[in-house]
Amino acid sequence: MLQRLFNVRRDEVLPVFLAVVFFFCVLVALMVLRPAREALGLRGGIDAVRWLFMGTALITLLVNPVFGLLVSRLPRLHFITATYAFFACSLAGFYLLLVLAPEAIGVVSGQLFYVWFSVFNLFATMVFWALMADRFSLEQGKRFFGLIAVGGTLGAIAGPWLASRLAAPLGTPALLLLSSAFLLAALGAAWGIARCQRAPVAAGPRAEGTRDDELAPAVDERELIGGSAWEGVRAVCRSRYLLGMAAYVVILAIMATFLYFTRLQMVAELGDDLDLRTTVFARIDLITQIATLVLQALVAGRLMQRVGVPITLALLPLTTALGFIGLALVGSLAALIAFEALFRAVQRALMRPARETLYTVTSREDKYKSKAFIDTFVYRAGDVVGAQLEGLLGRLGMGLAALASVAIPLALAWAALALWLGRTQQRIAAAGGAPASAAHPTTTRLRRSST
């Protein structure tokens, strides 16, 4: 029954359930704070938000070697724990600042929180999906990454709902502690997932009819990945496949940024009231999450298996091209909300699970180091490009039609890149997986010593 309904085998139920809980907790921790982040960022004006994008990109570049060092020197569970524990402690620090020194909260502190939250957002989701790509095989990813993403969507719905219910009776600072608590719960789920994988695959339970390529890869939790802190950056520069993924993420960020600033401008035109803006942003988020959940429930479960990763990756670029055509023709806030809801729904329900399967055929070092570089700095670099380009078009007095004239050709190139990435993944999988970038002598010594 489980296989018919959810495409999950009996021996996979526990790790998949824990993955759903993990993603749910991560997204609640993020989304309970996101509306306030948006409203605080707007206090300095839309032009200030563009500079905040540049600050976020710079911080992610500085943080990447630190994360790479943790990946190189600590076992998998330890560097995952260190990452989430750092953000949980940071939330507690912001809570103390709000409670003990509320007079210190102003435009500058709000902008600092905006940058910090943006970095938090990227690393929290990146570490989650890196563990998923490490924990599950390509065939497993095709079957239930979409189901796992449902957990994130439910968390993204529960986060704003909890914020709206608890902000008044407990106060806004309490939301920071709530976010921290959900991060710790997510960490507990991560440990549970790793515990499910301790035994070698051959010794673990196997459902009848399970093929070898559907089994989770065996991982020794004591094994160190090794390598240098900057190995992820070098790997991206050396590999056409990883460069293609980086280019895909850059275009994704540019398109999302075009939509983001269009939304900021339309909401800013509604008035300067902070509560009004926060309410509008929260409603947009809620509509987006509901649309995502509907798409996941009706389509996402088996789409990747039926049409393949290449087509699934290309759906978002094609949706974007059509959406910008409609936005240029109508140009209203309602049209923008409909477009953004569809964009985010396809992105989170279909594209994100498909994009994460691209990493299942890479080495463990690339799953954490290269992915961290692509999903944080490269993504934020795309944000900066999109923000500056959108700002340039605005300063030239060009409206939505000019934005669409840039976005539509870029979306078509994006679709072609998606098809190439999906087909390249198929070739790598057929060849037995990408060569491990852990051929580095230091990594080899570390792996030998760990066994």
In tens, the pLDDT along 206-262 reads 445 555 555 556 565 666 776 776 888 889 999 999 999 999 999 999 999 888 888
Is pTM, for the whole model, over 0.75?
yes
Distance CA 227, CA 440 (A): 6
- pLDDT-derived band of residue 5, with 50, 70 and 90 as boundaries? low
In tens, the pLDDT along 180-192 reads 999 999 999 999 9
Given a contact cutoff of 8 angstroms between Cβ atoms, the answer to whether 247 and 417 are in contact is yes
Torsion on CA atoms 328, 329, 330, 331, rounded to nearest 10: 20
Given a contact cutoff of 8 angstroms between Cβ atoms, the answer to whether 227 and 72 are in contact is yes
- Mean pLDDT, the chain, as a whole number? 80
Given a contact cutoff of 8 angstroms between Cβ atoms, the answer to whether 59 and 384 are in contact is no
Sign of CA dihedral 166, 19, 8, 147: positive
In tens, the pLDDT along 392-416 reads 887 776 677 888 888 999 999 999 9
**What are the percentages of helix, strand and coil residues in the chain, rounded to 5?**
85, 0, 15
More confident residue, 447 or 371: 371
The residue type of 119 is V
More confident residue, 66 or 213: 66
- pLDDT-derived band of residue 448, with 50, 70 and 90 as boundaries? very low
Of the chain, the percentage scoring pLDDT greater than 70 comes to 78
State the average pLDDT over residues 364-371: 89
pLDDT at 371: 92
Classify 295 as helix, strand or coil.
Answer: helix
More confident residue, 377 or 1: 377
pLDDT at 220: 58
Distance CA 302, CA 304 (A): 6
More confident residue, 353 or 400: 353
Which of 89-103, 150-164, 250-264, 408-422 is least confident?
Answer: 89-103
